[in-house]
Amino acid sequence: MQKFAVLFSLASATLAGQTLPKNENHMVKYPKTRKSETVDTYFGTPVADPYRWLEDDMSDETGAWVKAQNEVTFNYLEKIPFREALKQRLEKLWNYEKLGSPFKEGNYTYFYKNNGLQNQYVLYRKQGEGKEEVFLDPNTFSEDGTTSLAGLSFTKDGSLAAYLISEGGSDWRKAIVINAQTMEVVEDTLTDIKFSGISWKGNDGFYYSSYDKPEGSELSAKTDQHKVYYHKLGTSQKEDQLVYGGTEAEKHRYIGASVSEDERYLLISAAVSTSGNKLFIKDLSQDNSPLMPIVEDTDSDNYVIENEGSKLYIVTNRNAPNKRIVTVDAENPGEENWVDFIPETENVLTAGTGGGYFFAEYMVDAISKVFQYDYDGKLIREVKLPGVGSASGFGGKKENKEFYFSFTNYIIPGSSFKYNVETGAYTSYWTPDIDFNSEDYESNQVFYTSKDGTKVPMIITHKKGLKLNGKNPTILYGYGGFNISLTPAFSIANAVWLEQGGIYAVPNLRGGGEYGKKWHDAGTKMNKQNVFDDFIAAGEYLIENKYTSSDYLAVRGGSNGGLLVGATMTQRPDLMKVALPAVGVLDMLRYHTFTAGAGWAYDYGTSEESKKMFEYLKGYSPVHTIKEGVDYPATLVTTGDHDDRVVPAHSFKFAAELQAKQSGKNPTLIRIETNAGHGAGTPVSKTIEQYADIFAFTLYNMGFEALPYK
């Protein structure tokens, strides 16, 4: 998901005076949170869970608690003198036209556009050089902008389209099928779709995935058995054919189905966790053809990226932690018949196809390098990128000889380029028209040493001419999990932070995917402490080198990154002044009992699998490691009441524990966004308000009574 941002030059700005705020944090009166007598026993060890009742998102008592907490939090935030100024600055910088890279479907070219402050991007199209018209406007889906476009798929000829919508940020989706020419709805809306794309089989129908609707709360109840269905156009959803996942032998938490570009093969991926998948193939050109296994275990990640007739091209990290591409015939697709096409290298591979070529993008210390190959595996060229940063979008349909890619880094706004696959030449397609001069800022990559001696890269971004005096407000942002790589990207929110003289530092922690499967595995299960140690060492590096000090350091992360912040602030509360855990996984003993949480066990392990694993998880679980009598940093927990990925109960219980046990004067608040989920599809208006509150809280608790720069 690309983030757009804007910044302006502040050469004439002056640093405002810094004094301790007169905010009387110790006067915050928190709502009283009832404690229950709930106790669980794990391998003979009793564990109290006094706030278990907050897991019931349907209860009136939980609703009243949410309302009371928000009243306290917003009462505090409203008293910060520069909160409104930050919001206005965010709105002003956000307000520029943003354009996504075009893509062709049928006779039309489609593209997403936002005129500046629209809550959701609008999908436009035009035919040839004709006039552009609105195709889908998600801003009309709901009055408050909280219903978003969550997926879109066209038939190969572009005549039909199915699009997914998300309501209130939920992961549950509805599918609407339209005639792409007339934009008229052609049949009833499909419901209860989750963690799924739409993949058409000709114009006859499409494949999708879902779970049985859970009993009780659909926002928190466990969803464990994913199923693939085939929907035939013009029939009721009740008649949809179950394709895979309906039996105990086929039980998996995540199953996806896709049809090859030439529409010959159905490909099914089945996984029990977020890493590793089985892979199956079915020949759609033959009636009653069997579903054949390509990979029969979940020890590796595998997917078919392309085929030429029966020749399959598979991207895999099987016996290749940094990934490779292999070829095999669909008639005998077993691993023993695989032949290297693009072998593994020392850098992590991301592959794409388009225009009759393969594109291999490599991460070199989290920075993109792109190479183009033909279908014989011959290197055609290295694509010389516009700068040092992150490139994406290298790929398209086989018949298209031009496509569009985007490029960004922490100080260069996302721009798109039109690429000619035959010549390798590209031209600028769109550059944001914003008041920003990247020459006023710098991003530098450093390598620091973690606790066990591991070298970890970190990119530090700030204004040029920064004084290393230990007094620069700094946000240390991290993730460190699920094989996800943090690569340089520009964002409006970060731009506002940089504008205020702030430093934005992003380390590439173990648990991520920057250096392949080994780097990922080094931050999972019994190695999870490595991630926290890497993050702590990043903070210590910034302090030791006078970028900042503990009084001016904030740590921030979301989802798995919220766990990172929660664990770091409970292990080293002295390291930072402010902690900002967002939609975090914070109860490590019970995370797997909600929605699809059990699928995260590859990274975390579970409290039920062994006494050793239970003790390890309890040893860092943020909810369970908050202690009486500790001066914790100023904390603003953020979550959404419709988050059905990481249920808000994690954040509720963590905030309640903090408020009960915090011994110092630092505020411990929770900001609960209503009618919002895990983050995707959040309206721009809500996003601006969230960042204004986060930055205001951070600077205020670092001692600023006024913005550093006016």
Name the token pair of 395: 């790929």
Residues 477, 554: Cα–Cα separation, whole Å: 9
Q: Which residues of 643-677 are buried (b: 16+ CB within 10 A; e: fewer)?
A: bbbbbbbbbbbbbbbbbbebeeebbbbbbbbebbb
Q: Are 491 and 4 a contacting pair, CB within 8 Å?
A: yes
End-to-end CA distance of the chain: 31
Cβ-based burial of 467 (10 A; exposed 0-12, middle 13-18, buried ≥19):
exposed
- Which one, of 632, 704, 702, lies nearest residue 665 by Cα? 632
Q: Which residues pair with 133 in a beta bridge?
A: 125
Q: Is residue 549 annotated as a catalytic residue, yes or no?
A: no
Residues near 518 by beta carbon (within 8 Å), at least 6 away in sequence: 321
Cα 195 to Cα 166, 229, 242, 253, 255, distances in angstroms: 11, 13, 16, 10, 9
Name the token pair of 29: 């009166």
Name the token pair of 513: 């995917």
Q: Scanning the structure block, which residue is given the tokens 């590439």?
A: 508
Q: Which residues pair with 351 in a beta bridge?
A: 360
DSSP letter for 33, please: -
Amino acid at the residue 132? E
Q: Are strands 668-673 and 634-640 parallel, antiparallel or unpaired?
A: parallel
Ordered alpha helix ranges (H), 171-251: none
Count CB neighbours of 91 within 10 A. 17
3-state secondary structure of 51: coil
**166, 269, 390, 559: which is the annotated catalytic residue?**
559
DSSP string, 387-399: SSSEEE-----TT
Residues 164, 201: Cα–Cα separation, whole Å: 17
Number of residues assigned to the chain: 710
Residues 371, 263: Cα–Cα separation, whole Å: 27
Name the token pair of 379: 């290197």
Q: Is residue 678 annotated as a catalytic residue, yes or no?
A: yes
Count CB neighbours of 346 within 10 A. 9
Residues 620, 398: Cα–Cα separation, whole Å: 49
Residues 674, 682: Cα–Cα separation, whole Å: 11
**462, 520, 642, 678: which is the annotated catalytic residue?**
678
Q: Which residues pair with 292 in a beta bridge?
A: 281
Q: Are strands 634-640 and 578-582 parallel, antiparallel or unpaired?
A: parallel
Residues 34, 21: Cα–Cα separation, whole Å: 32
Q: Are strands 348-354 and 265-271 parallel, antiparallel or unpaired?
A: unpaired
- Which one, of 261, 281, 270, lies nearest residue 195 by Cα? 270
Count CB neighbours of 398 within 10 A. 14
Name the token pair of 628: 């009486």
- Which one, of 337, 340, 425, 429, lies nearest residue 380 by Cα? 425
Count CB neighbours of 109 within 10 A. 17
Q: Which residues pair with 242 in a beta bridge?
A: 229
Please give the order of strands across the beta sheet that includes 205-210: 199-201, 205-210, 227-232, 241-244
Annotated catalytic residues are 559, 678
